Structure 1
Amino acid sequence: MKKDICVIDDDEIYQKIIRKLITRAGVFEKAFFYMNAVDALEDLKNPETSLPSVILLDINMPAMDGWQFIELLQDSYPSLFSKCDIYIVTSSIAYSDKEKMEDLPGLAGFLSKPINVDKLVEIGEAVK
């Protein structure tokens, strides 16, 4: 089974770190990186683009936050959560973020930054 991962996060330093960690984990064939949810949504809604196996999604981003991204992506893919494992990845410790996650039971999980190689391997091995 093909395993692709998509990282959507506006933090340049995190992007550099997660690229290296994904490579070290060695469980994903392809990785796609977006600095904002608007560009990611545009690409993922393209009928010629297939959904990745996993999305690591920051929730606190300018222009469009992670929650808005999920809502708009679900409009294009009503069975989104059965096709793609979406993990909320954040440095936020706000309880309200965890409450919002409970409203979306299809989410694969809530991860606190920083993520490590072992966690990426675990995520890759758990792909639907």
Structure 2
Amino acid sequence: MTHLRTATAALAATSLLAAPLAFAAPAQADGPEKERSFRLAGAEVDFKVEKDDGRFEVDVDIDDAKQGSKWRVVLRHDGKVFHNKVHRADGEGDVDIDKRRGDTKGADTFKVTVKKVGGKSKSRTIRMR
């Protein structure tokens, strides 16, 4: 009888310890993440698109820019502009843009154009299937 109680207690303790792990698992994304990186006017630009929960997460990060510098960022989804704004680099020289877009029929094409105000611009395209 003592062995049965000990085994039952050990099983219960193991279940209680393992239960939080089952809930801590990260949610799975719907599709792969795609990223394009490039340099512009001394700054590093990362453009990333990921499908999550049937929607797209679109991120643009500008790092190592001159503090206070201005950057025009234009985002397009299947050719339609959904973001067109001038951003100012923060005290660390960073600009962070996070947008969400719905999934459209067929392949989805995202394009970013980044221009340092008073300087040159560059564009990159990501196609999601």
Taking structure 2 as the reference length, the TM-score comes to 0.24
Structure ranking higher on relative contact order (CA contacts 8 Å, 6+ apart): 1
Looking at secondary structure, tell me which structure has more helix per residue: 1
